[in-house]
């Protein structure tokens, strides 16, 4: 990353406001989330003010967001993706008439269907998606309406998404148990995102070493994570991270970039719920607490060499 580019951004934390001054000519960029606490502005050459209602983001945002701002950034107006729907269903309450994480789950994905499992978990092409350092990462951000809360839909309703890599939207009432999966459908882990989780996704044909490094970093950063393959990623950028209303697609694992994204976007969903989920089909490994049950500190002191050593 060019030092000249980074130097064009000024970060200040002063009293009860956080100020980002942008002097680059960006067409769009950063920062949304935090239910009713956070105000979102995404315009070039503007000053962004964020009320300090959530101290944990202020403690790390200067370190974790600074390196993201130089990325190619897509801004998406979520107003076009969100439809009014009053079919809200209580979350986390198992019901055979709505969602108990067992009945009618094949609407999203059938974990007992070998061909369906293979389609989502195996590389079915002859060429793997190798890392390419000439392909730049892409940061995608949703410009959300104020006080947006996605709704829960029962298993008798199919859920489809406009975006290839959803970061917001309707989902199932029961969320996924935290950890690594052979595969878990987006309709489950999108609920985890609402609770402040980070999702690590990778194309089944992605390079094994790149995927391994991504997995190791996520597991070392926080308890609230889900890791799963995801077919909608491209071979150009076969690994990605997802937070509330944000995604980072990468061609190759960049330790600093990935860690900064996690620190910036972890725990940013509108529901600060740290309870584990009830859906656990094809779960490979349960998530472990990193600092404590509420992920008090995200990515605590993880040297890059340790990530490489463990993979």
28 occurs within a structural domain: no
Q: What is the pLDDT of residue 229?
A: 98
52 pLDDT above the threshold of 50 = no
> Is 108 a domain residue?
yes
* Contact criterion met (CB below 8 Å) for 263 and 299: yes
DSSP calls for 151-209 = -B--TTS----SSSS-SSS-B-SSPBPSEEES---HHHHHHHHHTT-EEEEE-TTB-HH
Query: pLDDT value at position 82?
Result: 54
- Of all residues in the chain, the percent with pLDDT exceeding 70 is 71
Distance CA 222, CA 232 (A): 25
Ramachandran bin of 147, using left for φ above 0, alpha for ψ from -120 to 50, beta for the remaining angles: left
Residue 10 lies in a domain: no
Looking at residues 57-72, what average pLDDT do you find? 52
Angstrom distance (rounded) from CA 167 to CA 201:
12
CB 222 within 8 A of CB 178: no
Q: Specify whether the backbone of 222 is left (phi greater than 0), alpha (psi in -120 to 50) or beta.
A: beta
Under DSSP, the state recorded for 136 is P
Binned at pLDDT 50, 70 and 90, residue 13 comes out as: very low
**Are 198 and 241 within 8 A, CB to CB?**
yes
Rounded distance, CA 86 to CA 94, Å? Answer: 20
Higher pLDDT, 87 or 98: 98
Q: At what angle do helices 208-221 and 255-265 cross, to 10 degrees?
A: 40
Q: Which of 152, 195, 156 is nearest to 287 (CA)?
A: 195
Which pLDDT score, from 0 to 100, does residue 77 have? 63
Contact in structure between 49 and 84 (CB atoms under 8 Å): no
* Residue 241, H or E segment: strand 239-243
190 is in which domain, residue-wise? 72-310
Domain membership flag for residue 158:
yes
What's the number of domains the chain is made of? Answer: 1
pLDDT at 186: 98
- Cβ atoms of 192 and 176 closer than 8 Å: yes
Among the residue ranges 5-9, 156-160, 222-226, 280-284, the one predicted with the least confidence is 5-9
Please determine, for residue 65, whether its predicted confidence score (pLDDT) is greater than 60: yes
The pLDDT value given to residue 182: 98
pLDDT at 139: 93
**End-to-end C-alpha distance for the chain, whole angstroms:** 25
Quote the pLDDT of residue 64.
53
Q: Work out whether strand 225-229 and strand 179-181 pair parallel, antiparallel, or are unpaired.
A: parallel
Within a domain: residue 34? no
At 10 the pLDDT is 25
Q: Is residue 93 part of a domain?
A: yes
Query: What are the pLDDT digits (tens) for 275-310?
Result: 999 999 999 999 999 999 899 999 998 777 777 666
Q: Which helix (H) or strand (E) holds 11?
A: strand 9-14
- Say whether 260 sits in a helix, a strand or coil: helix
Q: What is the pLDDT of residue 149?
A: 84
Q: What CA–CA distance (Å, rounded) separates 35 from 263? A: 18
Reported as a single tens digit per residue, the pLDDT across 122-167 is 998 878 898 999 999 999 988 888 778 899 999 999 999 999 999 9
CB proximity list for 17: less than 8 A, separation 6 or greater: 49, 50, 51, 52
Residue 26 resides in a domain:
no
Q: What is the average per-residue pLDDT within 51-59?
A: 33
The structure tokens listed for 33 are 């989330």
HSE, side-chain direction, 13 A CA sphere, residue 39: 11
Mean pLDDT of 11-21: 26
The pLDDT of residue 237 is: 96
- Whether residue 287 contacts residue 169, with contact meaning beta carbons closer than 8 Å, is answered with no
Residue 8 has pLDDT above 60, yes or no: no
pTM of the full structure: 0.77
> What's the confidence (pLDDT) of residue 156?
95
Measured CA to CA, the distance from residue 294 to residue 308 in angstroms comes to 27
For residue 104, what pLDDT is reported? 96
pLDDT of the residue at 34: 35
Q: What average pLDDT does range 79-85 have in this prediction?
A: 51
Q: Is residue 134 assigned to a domain?
A: yes
The per-residue pLDDT for range 185-197, each reduced to its tens digit, is 999 999 999 999 9
């Amino acid at each position: 990353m060019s030092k000249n580019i980074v130097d064009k951004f000024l970060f200040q934390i002063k009293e009860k406001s956080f100020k980002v001054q942008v002097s680059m000519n960006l067409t769009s960029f950063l920062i949304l989330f935090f239910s009713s606490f956070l105000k979102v502005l995404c315009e070039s050459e503007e000053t962004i003010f964020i009320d300090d209602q959530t101290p944990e983001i202020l403690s790390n945002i200067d370190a974790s967001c600074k390196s993201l701002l130089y990325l190619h950034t897509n801004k998406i107006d979520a107003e076009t993706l969100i439809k009014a729907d009053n079919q809200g269903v209580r979350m986390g309450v198992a019901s055979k008439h709505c969602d108990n994480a067992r009945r009618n789950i094949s609407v999203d994905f059938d974990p007992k269907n070998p061909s369906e499992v293979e389609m989502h978990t195996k590389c079915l092409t002859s060429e793997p998606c190798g890392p390419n350092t000439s392909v730049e990462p892409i940061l995608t951000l949703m410009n959300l309406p104020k006080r947006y809360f996605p709704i829960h839909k029962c298993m008798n309703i199919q859920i489809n998404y406009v975006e290839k890599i959803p970061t917001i939207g309707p989902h199932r009432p029961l969320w996924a148990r935290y950890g690594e999966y052979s595969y878990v459908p987006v309709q489950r882990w999108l609920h985890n995102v609402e609770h402040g989780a980070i999702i690590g996704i990778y194309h089944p044909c992605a390079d094994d070493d790149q995927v391994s490094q991504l997995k190791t970093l996520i597991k070392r950063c926080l308890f609230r994570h889900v890791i799963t393959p995801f077919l909608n990623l491209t071979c150009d950028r076969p690994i990605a991270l997802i937070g509330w209303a944000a995604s980072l697609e990468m061609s190759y694992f960049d330790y600093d970039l990935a860690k900064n994204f996690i620190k910036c976007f972890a725990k940013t969903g509108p529901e600060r719920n740290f309870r584990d989920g009830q859906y656990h089909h094809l779960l490979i490994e349960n998530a472990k607490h990193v600092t404590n049950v509420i992920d008090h500190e995200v990515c605590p002191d993880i040297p890059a060499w340790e990530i490489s050593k463990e993979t």
